[in-house]
Amino acid sequence: NEEAIGPARPVPALVRLYVYALHGCFCEVAFTAVWDWCSTQDRRLPGHSSLWALPMYATAIYLMERLRARLLAQNHPLTVRLMAYTVFIYLWEFSWGVGLSLLGACPWDYSGYRYNLGGLITLEYALPWAVAAFIAEQHVIRFTLRISLHN
């Protein structure tokens, strides 16, 4: 009986940030394992990440909640939304890369990629970022916002 339990309320922002941090890090480890396997065929699939990825992914997906809401409210088609998310992701990754580089702590370097900008972002990752944005919009954000607590 829902009335006996009390009204449902969405989970707090800190819980959503936690979910988004874990999702982002898991995806990064899985992606790097598969990406590296394509060139090394290392069956151990030793994916990798950095603790810096936790706040980076948490805040990126958290901000994407609002971007998603606006784009959906304006009835933008999926292709437009994915382009907007991908541009946002590139700006976010570049900003974090600059900040972490100033601290001597940037854990990635895309200098070896043909279409990189300062080693901080690379256009070779545009499709993977668009796929990640699709998963975030259609599943991660959507279902995280549906999680509710009862009083």
Predicted confidence (pLDDT) per residue in 94-133, tens digit: 999 999 999 999 999 999 999 999 999 999 999 999 999 9
Q: Note whether residue 144 is domain-resident.
A: yes
- The whole-model pTM stands at 0.91
Q: Note whether residue 136 is domain-resident.
A: yes
Q: Which domain holds residue 12?
A: 7-150
What kind and span of H or E run contains 42?
A: none
Domain count, the chain: 1
Q: In this predicted model, what pLDDT tens digit does every residue of 23-76 receive, in sequence order? A: 999 999 999 999 999 999 999 999 999 999 999 999 999 999 999 999 999 999
**Coil/strand/helix, residue 149:** strand
Q: Note whether residue 2 is domain-resident.
A: no
Q: Note whether residue 82 is domain-resident.
A: yes
pLDDT above 60 (res 138) = yes
Q: Note whether residue 1 is domain-resident.
A: no
Q: Note whether residue 113 is domain-resident.
A: yes
